[in-house]
């Protein structure tokens, strides 16, 4: 028997590097993706270091300033001041905190609940599949915002309750997504191989089905980050999410909307922040989809 | 050496016994379409003796892969019995089934597809050990390296992902995984057909080598008669869910009696010009297993078909000391 010539260590190392940095490599050469990543990075830094970076940290946190009501943008207040005299730039910076925390918490919990359920449904099939999917259908029958509104209204206003409501209305999307992938994976030879070895179904789901569903989940997470920011902002806008005096972009747009013709800056800048951040997440999601999908759905 | 219709060589007990096994897949055409079935395997019987290599040949769609899944009980039989070491598989469930699966392992046609793209070789080969053996991480690693060396790979492959290796290397990894639990039976489902010709020979030699060393029993499935003949002791030929010929490998190859076997051989490029043989060329394609032809299933393409072939289904019967065929006309 002839043995195959093993690859040299140098070759192996090259392959390793290539694989590990494949995604990063493509993103780095894609100006749109790089820009999105940088925007998200800047917003994240602002959110984390808001108390240090904000020119008026106390006002950002909610302290009113009766002497500076409704000032238009100037050097002192680049984004102007709001109806309580607070510096809008500082408020927007503080508002980046819930804008990041809520989507991250919501999406992480939604994936943690939704993905395993979808994997089980898709892999097991039969009545387990039927059972799980009919329940998700029940949740999916309502528009996410409407369902989140109803649940927040029932639980009571506030950021935490809004987050819980968003989780409840978001996990079924991941169940459905992962189920679709799992149905395809179930037929793949490596899953059949695991079955023929005698691996338990529960182990197959977590060792084979879920790890091989990661790419589409990652894409969905990126896109959902933007959507959750929007819906959380919407909840805050109608007064169900973040409560004053905490800063929140949706809340700021809401309080500034009555004065939008005269004091446009109060609503304009938080709206711009939402717009830019969601755009960045969506663009990044698109790029990730292009990188990760062709191989996943081959 | 005597054969029985259902039998291996006398004196050796059968490791696997397949008795009149049937598998029909229900076609889901909605309630308007009515009940339709795919007759994937329709009454197949044979024995495989311990230490034997049993080749299973047929065109794609003839049911050979389904049959292999039935033997492993990856799918349930519609009717009939599969026995492993005298134990009826249909009665087994849960833990007992998992225990028994250690005894029989499967190697797939698509070597890269049979390995999870997100696992490294170490984890792939260690999976059966994690599932069935209690051993420390170090022991497992040593065991995996040992298995890799048995199939001509080595420690340097441990951290590779499947897509970083060639098809032949992936197939070696798959074989190492199949050997991990020291099974008695290996079902090889077209293990070489996705590989380059030169690599095919390497893998075949490796399989032959392993079998001799570990005294394994093989069920070797292929559409390529020359590959099967190279490695098998006995050959079964399948056509549309039926076993149409069964017998000693040399006999089937040199003196094929069933017209379908002759046709399969006729399509083989033979290196020996003096090897005189009437060339039978099959016309048309395999009929749909949803609606198999009545009588002998092969009559629609058979060059020597008579009236009786359309009416009566031929039984598999002995026509020589070591050859069986299902045909009215021989």
Read off the pLDDT of residues B161-198 as tens digits, 9 standing for 90 and up: 898 899 999 999 999 999 999 999 999 998 888 888 88
Greater confidence, B33 or B179? B179
Which sequence spans correspond to the domains of chain A?
A: 12-63+78-297
Given a cut of 70, the residues of chain A with pLDDT beneath it are: 1-22, 293-298
pTM, entire model: 0.81
pLDDT band with cut points at 50, 70 and 90 for residue B275: low
Kindly state whether A211 is in contact with chain B, defined as any CB-CB distance less than 8 angstroms: yes
Chosen from B70, B111, B118 to mutate, greatest number of chain A CBs within 10 A: B118
Nearest to B74 among A2, A12, A192 (CB): A192
Would you call B17 helix, strand, or coil by DSSP?
Answer: strand
For all residues of chain B together, what is the average pLDDT? 85
Mean pLDDT score, B85-105: 86
- Residue B46 CA to residue B26 CA, distance in Å, equals 25
A199 vs B contacts (CB less than 8 Å): 127, 131
Sign, Cα dihedral of B7, B13, B19, B21: negative
Question: Which two three-digit tokens encode residue B95?
Answer: 């833990």
Q: Which residue has the tokens 């329709």?
A: B42
Are the CB atoms for B83 and A178 separated by under 8 Å?
Answer: no
Q: Give the pLDDT confidence score for residue B237 in this predicted structure.
A: 92
pLDDT of residue B293: 86
| A190 contact residues in B (CB cutoff 8 A) | 113-117
Is A190 in CB contact (< 8 Å) with chain B?
yes
Which of B132, B174, B202 has its CB closest to that of A198? B132
Q: How far apart are CA A136 and CA B179, in angstroms?
A: 42
Helix then strand count (H, E) for chain A reads 14, 0
B50/B9 Cα distance (integer angstroms): 10
- Return the exposure string of B25-52: e unless at least 16 CB atoms fall within 10 Å of the residue's CB, then b: beeeeeeeeeeeebbbbbbbbbbbbbbb
Residue A168, CB-side half-sphere exposure with 13 Å CA sphere:
18
Q: Give B-chain residues touching A198 at CB under 8 angstroms.
A: 97-99, 101-102, 128, 131-132
Would you tell me which CATH number, out of the four given (3.40.50.12780, 3.30.450.40, 1.10.3720.10, 3.40.50.300), belongs to the domain A12-63+78-297? 1.10.3720.10
Q: How many CB atoms are closer than 10 A to CB B8?
A: 23
pLDDT of residue B251: 86
Per the model's pLDDT, the better-predicted residue between B149 and B310 turns out to be: B149
Considering A59-63, B32-36, B282-286, the range whose residues carry the highest mean pLDDT is: A59-63
CB contact under 8 A, B177 and A212: no
Q: How far is CA A102 from CA A60, A159, B50, B101, B297, in A?
A: 19, 8, 63, 48, 65
Write out chain B residues lying below 8 Å of A16, CB-based. 159
Q: What is the dihedral of CA B105, B109, B110, B112, to 10 degrees?
A: 40
Q: Which of B117, B151, B158 to mutate to test the interface with A (most CBs of A within 10 A)?
A: B117
Closest CA to B230 of B57, B12, B9: B57
Strand B217-222, strand B185-189: pairing: parallel
Quick one: how many helices (H) and strands (E) in chain B?
11, 12
Q: Contact A171/A89 with Cβ under 8 angstroms?
A: no
Report whether B52 contacts B233 (CB < 8 A): yes
pLDDT band at B3 (very low <50, low <70, confident <90, very high): very low
Tell me the pLDDT band of B267, cut-offs 50, 70 and 90.
low
Asked if A190 lies within 8 A of B105 by C-beta distance, the reply is no
Predicted confidence at residue B2, as pLDDT, reads: 36
**Window 186-245 of B, Cβ < 8 Å to A:** 202, 205-206, 209
Contact by Cβ (8 Å): B110, B194: yes
Interface subset of B 154-183, CB within 8 angstroms of A: 154, 156-157, 159-161, 164, 166, 168-169, 174, 177, 181
Higher pLDDT: B173 or B62? It is: B173
Provide the ipTM. 0.83
What secondary structure does DSSP assign to B170-237, as a single string?
HHHHHHHHHHTT--SEEEEESTTTTS-HHHHHHHHHHHHHHHHHHT-EEEEEES-HHHHHHH-SEEEE
Number of residues that this document lists for chain B: 330
Q: Is A297 exposed, middle or buried (0-12, 13-18, 19+ CB in 10 A)?
A: exposed
In this complex, is the C-beta atom of A5 within 8 Å of any C-beta atom belonging to chain B?
A: no
Out of B74, B159, B209, name the one closest to residue A1 (CB). B209
pLDDT tens digits for range B104-133: 999 998 888 899 988 999 999 999 999 999
Nearest to A196 among B99, B106, B153 (CB): B106
Distance from CA of A199 to the nearest CA of B (A): 6
pLDDT of residue B55: 93
Query: H-helix or E-strand containing A13?
Result: helix A9-20
Could you tell me the pLDDT band of residue B61, with boundaries at 50, 70 and 90? confident
Judge whether B215 and B51 are in contact, CB under 8 Å: yes
Instruction: Kindly state the DSSP code that residue A257 receives in the 8-state scheme.
Output: G
pLDDT averaged over chain A?
86
CB of A287 closer than 8 Å to CB of A24: no
Closest approach of chain A CAs to the CA of B209, in angstroms?
9
Q: Do A3 and B152 touch (CB under 8 A)?
A: yes
Closest residue to A12, CB basis, from B104, B113, B156: B156
CA distance B238 to chain A (A): 23
Confidence at residue B123, expressed as pLDDT on a 0 to 100 scale? 94
Burial class (CB in 10 A: 0-12, 13-18, 19+), A135: middle
**Residue count (chain A):** 298
| pLDDT band for position B91 (cuts 50, 70, 90) | confident
Which strands sit side by side in the sheet containing B53-57, from one edge to the other? B104-107, B185-189, B217-222, B53-57, B234-239, B242-248, B323-325, B317-320
DSSP single-letter state for residue A82? -
Q: Which of A196, A199, A200 lies at the smallest CB-CB distance from B74?
A: A196
Task: Report the C-alpha gap between A181 and A193 in whole angstroms.
Answer: 18
Nearest to A212 among B72, B116, B132 (CB): B116
State mean pLDDT over B297-321. Answer: 85
Tell me what pLDDT residue B8 has. Answer: 44
Contact flag A197-B157 (C-beta cutoff 8 Å): no
pLDDT(B31) > 80: no
From the CA of A222, how many Å to the nearest CA of chain B?
21
Residues of B in contact with A7 (CB under 8 A): 156
Q: Are A85 and A147 in contact (CB under 8 A)?
A: no
Closest by CA position to B103, among listed B193, B214, B4: B214
């Amino acid at each position: 028997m002839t043995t195959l010539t093993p690859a040299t260590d140098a070759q192996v190392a090259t392959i390793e590097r290539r694989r590990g940095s494949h995604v990063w490599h493509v993103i780095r050469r894609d100006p749109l993706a790089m820009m999105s990543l940088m925007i998200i990075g800047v917003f994240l830094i602002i959110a984390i270091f808001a108390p240090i970076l904000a020119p008026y940290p106390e006002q950002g946190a909610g302290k009113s300033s009766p002497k500076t009501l409704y000032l238009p943008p100037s050097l002192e207040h680049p984004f102007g001041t709001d109806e309580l005299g607070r510096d809008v730039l500082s408020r927007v910076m503080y508002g980046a905190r819930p804008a990041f925390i809520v989507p991250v918490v919501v999406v992480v919990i939604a994936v943690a609940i939704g993905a395993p359920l979808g994997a089980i449904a898709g892999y097991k099939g039969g009545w387990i599949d039927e059972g799980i999917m009919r329940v998700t259908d029940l949740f999916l029958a309502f528009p996410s915002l409407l369902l989140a509104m109803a649940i927040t209204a029932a639980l009571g206003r506030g950021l935490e309750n809004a987050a819980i409501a968003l989780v409840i209305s978001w996990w079924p999307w991941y169940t459905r997504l992962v189920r679709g992938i799992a149905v395809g994976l179930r037929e793949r030879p490596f899953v059949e191989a695991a079955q023929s070895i005698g691996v338990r179904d529960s182990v197959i789901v977590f060792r084979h089905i879920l790890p091989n569903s990661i790419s589409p989940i990652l894409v969905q997470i990126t896109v959902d980050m933007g959507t959750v920011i929007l819906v959380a902002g919407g909840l805050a806008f109608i007064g169900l999410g973040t409560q004053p005096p905490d800063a929140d972009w949706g809340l700021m747009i809401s309080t500034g909307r009555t004065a939008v013709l005269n004091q446009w800056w109060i609503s304009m800048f938080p709206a711009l922040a939402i717009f830019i951040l969601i755009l960045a997440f969506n663009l990044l999601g698109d790029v990730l989809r292009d990188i990760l999908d062709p191989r996943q759905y081959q | 050496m005597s054969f029985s219709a259902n039998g291996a060589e006398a004196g050796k007990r059968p490791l696997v016994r397949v008795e009149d096994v049937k598998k029909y897949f229900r076609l889901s055409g909605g309630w308007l379409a009515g009940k339709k079935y795919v007759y994937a395997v329709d009454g197949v019987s044979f024995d495989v003796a311990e230490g034997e290599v049993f080749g299973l040949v047929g065109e794609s769609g003839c049911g050979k892969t389904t049959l292999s899944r039935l033997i492993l009980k990856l799918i349930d039989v519609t009717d009939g019995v599969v026995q492993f070491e005298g134990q009826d598989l249909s009665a087994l469930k849960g833990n007992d089934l998992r225990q028994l699966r250690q005894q029989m392992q499967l190697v797939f046609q698509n070597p890269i597809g049979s390995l999870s793209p997100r696992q490294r070789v170490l984890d792939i080969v260690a999976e059966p050990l994690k599932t069935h053996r209690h051993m420390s991480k170090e022991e497992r690693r040593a065991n995996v390296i040992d298995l890799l060396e048995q199939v001509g790979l080595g420690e340097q492959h441990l951290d590779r992902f499947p897509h970083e290796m060639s098809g032949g290397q992936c197939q070696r990894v798959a074989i190492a995984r199949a050997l991990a639990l020291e099974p008695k039976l290996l079902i090889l489902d077209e293990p070489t057909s996705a590989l380059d010709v030169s690599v095919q020979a390497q893998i075949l030699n490796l399989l032959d080598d392993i079998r001799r060393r570990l005294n394994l029993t093989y069920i070797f499935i292929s559409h390529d008669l020359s590959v099967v003949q190279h490695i098998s002791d006995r050959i079964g030929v399948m056509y549309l869910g039926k076993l149409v010929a069964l017998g000693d490998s040399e006999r089937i190859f040199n003196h094929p009696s069933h017209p379908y076997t002759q046709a399969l051989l006729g399509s083989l490029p033979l290196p020996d010009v003096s090897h005189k043989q009437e060339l039978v060329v099959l016309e048309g394609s395999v009929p749909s297993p949803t609606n198999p032809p009545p009588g002998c299933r092969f009559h629609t393409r058979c060059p020597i078909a008579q009236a009786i072939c359309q009416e009566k289904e031929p039984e598999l019967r002995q026509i020589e000391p070591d050859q069986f065929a299902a045909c009215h006309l021989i």
